[in-house]
């Protein structure tokens, strides 16, 4: 029997219901960025607003409800669904479909290690940052560096992943460096100045702090993925591999909806040169992308170009969208396999 209110999914359908017996609302709309049909219809016999849509290719769905009433429109969490997930733009209601499971590493014991902060002046961009570094209890020259570091830790649980996978023996001990985004829209939009800062100011200082000169594995999501690939193309000697999730590799034929972004043209120029290039500084690389997100087309095109240029590349579409939980859930097996490839 279907619930009276809330949200649920079947093998083919997703349904949302909101109680409003006195019909105080004039409209209800789904805010999730996925479904083409988002307008609820009022069912007077049940006293509920209802929306049924074909189930997208996801195992979980993040959403809010936009309610229109006498005082205007407001966006709220689903009052009849207790599941919540945090994110960079606030909490979202979460619908989990049958069969969804959180990563097993979230429940594994974590290896010992210590966190420290490292101040990094960035003369190349006339800025500064404070990196957060996790180091294992045993010496190692392996280093994983992540863009959007605070959010990757807070929402994507990257530090937990590192310690749990090391503690279980599934990955060798390694340092994790979390880089804050700073002027994110400027730094992470194919900026030559930021790529230079990463190669000349950030990575050498981190290497000196950790006692290693080995190239690092770079990771990033969305604009952070774009910026990491852009830096690797300009300074390939710094990188041993790349882990890129839902990269904002904007292309005019796929992403005109992003043309209002102030650095859209700079990104488009970079991605255009990238896909036209006959070769490149190839390293082992993994690209993941949500099966239902707008970036899927440009990620597919980027993956094809990198593979043609000699990158040892895995491309995976995961059953989620453009969000931190989807990126977290893809760390294993995809980042795990990449690190095994690079570190043995």
Q: In what order do the strands lie in the sheet with 313-318?
A: 113-122, 127-136, 175-178, 143-146, 216-221, 239-245, 285-290, 313-318
What phi and psi values does residue 160 have, to the nearest 5 degrees? -65, -45
Name the CATH superfamily, with its identifier, for domain 6-96.
Answer: Immunoglobulins (2.60.40.10)
Is the pLDDT confidence value at 230 over 90?
yes
The tokens describing 196, both together, are: 């230079």
Residue-averaged pLDDT of the chain? 95
Is the pLDDT confidence value at 14 over 80?
yes
User: Quick one: pLDDT at residue 35?
Assistant: 59
Give whole-number Cα distances, 340 to 65, 121, 150, 344, in Å. Answer: 42, 32, 25, 5
**CATH number for the domain whose boundaries are 104-343:** 3.40.50.1820
Task: For 191-207, write each residue's pLDDT tens digit.
Answer: 999 999 999 999 999 99
Task: For 281-305, write each residue's pLDDT tens digit.
Answer: 999 999 999 999 999 999 999 999 9
Quick one: average pLDDT of 313-331?
Answer: 97
Q: Do domains 6-96 and 104-343 have the same CATH topology?
A: no
Per cent of the chain over pLDDT 90 is: 94
Lowest-confidence pick of 1-15, 40-54, 115-129: 1-15
Report domain extents, the chain.
6-96, 104-343
From CA 319, how far away is CA 324, in angstroms rounded? 13
Residue of 315, 295, 291, 292 lying closest to 303 (CA atoms): 315
From CA 294, how far away is CA 298, in angstroms rounded? 8
From CA 310, how far away is CA 314, in angstroms rounded? 12
What phi and psi values does residue 114 have, to the nearest 5 degrees? -140, 150
From CA 77, how far away is CA 92, in angstroms rounded? 6
Residue of 250, 253, 248 lying closest to 290 (CA atoms): 248
Angle, helices 296-308/264-276, rounded to nearest 10 degrees = 40
The tokens describing 292, both together, are: 């239902």
Residue whose tokens read 């590799």: 249
From CA 27, how far away is CA 139, in angstroms rounded? 60
Q: Say if residues 316 and 287 touch (Cβ distance below 8 Å).
A: yes
Sign of the CA dihedral with 155 first, then 159, 165, and 168 last: negative
Residue whose tokens read 């590349």: 313
What phi and psi values does residue 334 have, to the nearest 5 degrees? -75, -50
Quick one: average pLDDT of 267-281?
Answer: 97
Is the pLDDT confidence value at 127 over 80?
yes
Is the pLDDT confidence value at 1 over 80?
no
Phi-psi label, residue 342: left if phi above 0, alpha if psi -120 to 50, beta otherwise: alpha
């Amino acid at each position: 029997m279907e619930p009276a209110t809330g949200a649920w999914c079947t093998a083919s359908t997703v349904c949302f219901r909101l109680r409003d017996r006195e019909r105080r609302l004039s409209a209800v709309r789904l805010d999730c960025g996925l479904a083409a049909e988002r307008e609820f219809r009022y069912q007077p016999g049940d006293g509920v607003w209802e929306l049924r849509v074909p189930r997208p290719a996801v195992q979980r769905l993040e959403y809010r409800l936009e309610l229109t009433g006498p005082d205007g429109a407001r966006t709220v969490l689903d009052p009849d669904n207790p599941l919540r997930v945090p994110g960079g733009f606030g909490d979202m209601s979460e619908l989990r479909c049958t069969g969804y499971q959180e990563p097993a590493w979230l429940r594994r014991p974590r290896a010992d290690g210590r966190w420290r902060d490292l101040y990094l002046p960035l003369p190349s961009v006339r800025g500064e940052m404070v990196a957060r570094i996790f180091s294992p209890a045993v010496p190692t020259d392996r280093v994983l560096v992540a863009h959007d570091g605070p959010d990757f830790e807070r929402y994507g649980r990257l530090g937990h992943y590192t310690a749990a996978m090391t503690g279980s023996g599934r990955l060798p001990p390694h340092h994790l460096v979390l880089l804050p985004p700073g002027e994110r829209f400027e730094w992470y939009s194919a900026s030559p100045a930021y790529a230079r800062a990463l190669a000349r100011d950030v990575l050498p200082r981190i290497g000196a702090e950790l006692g290693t000169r080995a190239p690092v594995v770079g990771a990033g999501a969305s604009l952070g993925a774009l910026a990491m690939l852009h830096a690797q193309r300009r300074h390939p000697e710094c990188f041993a591999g790349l882990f890129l999730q839902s990269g904002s590799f904007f292309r005019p034929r796929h992403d005109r909806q992003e043309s209002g972004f102030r650095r859209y043209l700079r990104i488009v120029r970079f991605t255009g040169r990238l896909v036209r290039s006959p070769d490149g500084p190839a390293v082992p690389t993994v690209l993941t992308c949500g099966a239902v997100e707008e970036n899927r087309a440009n990620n597919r095109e980027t993956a094809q170009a990198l593979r043609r240029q000699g990158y040892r590349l895995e491309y995976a579409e995961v059953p989620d969208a453009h969000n931190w939980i989807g990126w977290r859930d893809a760390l294993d097996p995809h980042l795990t396999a990449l690190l095994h490839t690079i570190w043995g």
